[in-house]
Amino acid sequence: MSLDRIALKGLRARGRHGVLPAERELGQEFVIDATLFLDTAPAAAGDDLTATVHYGELAEELTRVVSGEPVQLIETLAQRLAEVCLAYEPVVKVEVSVHKPAAPIPLPFDDVVVTIERSRV
C-alpha cells in the first residue's frame, strides 16, 4: 500500500540554534519543511479531522520547538521536529528539512539545509 502525504513547507520561526555564541545570543530565522506519510483514506471517508493530522496545530508545535530550547546542530533540531511529527498517530514516516539561510558562512550562498527521514519502524 502506498502512503499519502501531507506537506508543510516554508514554516518560518526564530530560534537561537548554532555553535557560535552570536547565534545563541542574537538568534536567526529557520525555515522548516515537513512531509508526513500516512493513509488519509479514513479521514477522507468520514470527513473526519481526528483521523488525520491537523496541520495548523502541527505548525504551532513545530514553531514552539524551533523557538524553544537551543541546540548546537540543526541535525538535532531536525530530529526533535521529526519526533513531534511522529507523535501524531496516523503518521508512519516523516521527512523534515531544516533550512538555515542566515548561517554564519563568510561566502555567498543561498541556504544550508539538513534533511532527515524517520519512521515508526
Residues recognised as catalytic: 100
R_g of the chain computed on alpha carbons: 16
Q: Of the candidates 29, 28, 26, which has an alpha carbon nearest to the alpha carbon of residue 12?
A: 29
Q: Of the candidates 89, 85, 94, which has an alpha carbon nearest to the alpha carbon of residue 116?
A: 94
